[in-house]
Amino acid sequence: MKKVIITGRAHPVLKDSLVMQGYQVLDAPEISEEELANLIPDAEGLVVTTRIPVNKQLLDKALRLKWVGRLGSGMEMIDQPAAEAKGVRCLSSPEGNRNAVAEHNLGLLLNLLNRLSIAQDEVKRGLWKRIENTGIELSGKAVGIIGFGNTGSSFARLLEPFGVTVLAFDKYKYGFANGYIKEASLEQIARYADVISLHVPQTVETTGMINADFFSILQRKPVLLNTSRGKVISLPALINALKEKQISGAGLDVLPNEKLSSYNESEQAELDWLLARPEVIITPHIAGYSFEADYKMAAVLLEKLGIAIS
C-alpha cells in the first residue's frame, strides 16, 4: 500500500482524502527527525510544515518518495535541487493561508497605530490615559510592501478600503500596479512609506536584507511589520533602529530563532529588550494559523496533487 507521512498539524480532510485514494497515512505531527529518517524509506509522499528539514540526508533514505507537500508558504526547509534530482515533486500551498497572514498583519498594524496593547496594559495597572494614547489613522498613509506574492498582494487587497497608497516592490514581478497599488523601488519605499511590511521568502538573497543600511535611509519613521521569515531582519539592527527612532514601532510574527529554549545570553537579552518595548508586538509565528487556513492549505495541496477532497 502507498504510504504518506504527515509531519505537522494538518486538517483532517488531508488524511481522510488520502485514505480514500488508497494511501496508508501516518499522521504524526510530533514525529522526530530520527523517527522520520527510520520511516521514510517506504514512503511515497511526505507532508511537512516548518518543523523538520527535508535535507539531502533524508532524501537519500527516501527510496520510494514521489512528492513532498508543504502546508503553507516558504520552501526553505526543503532541499529542492536534491529532491528534483531524485525526481521528487515539491509542492506548497501558500494560497491556503495567504488571507490569514494578511489579516494578522493588518491586526498588528492597527494595534500599533492605535496603541491598543499599550492602553490595555495601562488599564490593567489602574491607569486611564486618553491623551497619551491618541492613535494614528491608517487612512491616507503610504504602505510599503516588500514582496508582492501571495501574502503581499493579499495584504494590499485588505488595505484598499482604508484609502492608502500601496508602494509595492518585488524583484521578480512587474506590471501589477493598479489604482492605489503602485510599483516602487526599495529606495522609494524607504523614502515615502509610513508603514513597511515584509512578505518575502527566506533565501540567500533575502536573509538580513533589512539591516542597518536599510534603516539608515528611512525618512518617515515607519511602522515595520514582518510576518514572513525572521532571518529577513537583522535583530541587532532592528533594536538599534528602535533606539535611534528610525522606526516608530514593530510588529513581528517571526524571529530569527524561534526555539526560545535554545537561546544564548545574547539572544535572550535581545528578546527581553524587545518585549519590554511598548511599541513592539511579538506573536509566536501564528499569522498563517486560522481554522479556515488549516482547511484551505490541505485543500490546495490535495488539488495540486490531483487528489479529490473527500
Q: Which residues are catalytic?
A: 229, 258, 285
> H or E element: which one contains 85?
helix 80-85
User: What's at 132, amino acid-wise?
Assistant: E
Q: Count each helix (H run) and each strand (E run) in the chain, helices first.
A: 12, 12
Candidates 47, 39, 46; CA nearest to 11 is: 47
Kindly calculate the radius of gyration of the chain based on its CA atoms and give it in whole angstroms: 21
CA atoms within 13 A on the CB side of 242: 20
Is there a contact between 280 and 252 (Cβ–Cβ < 8 Å)? Answer: yes
Is there a contact between 300 and 96 (Cβ–Cβ < 8 Å)? Answer: yes
Q: Percentages helix, strand, coil for the chain, rounded to the nearest 5? A: 40, 20, 40
Distance in angstroms (rounded) separating the CA atoms of residues 42 and 116: 52
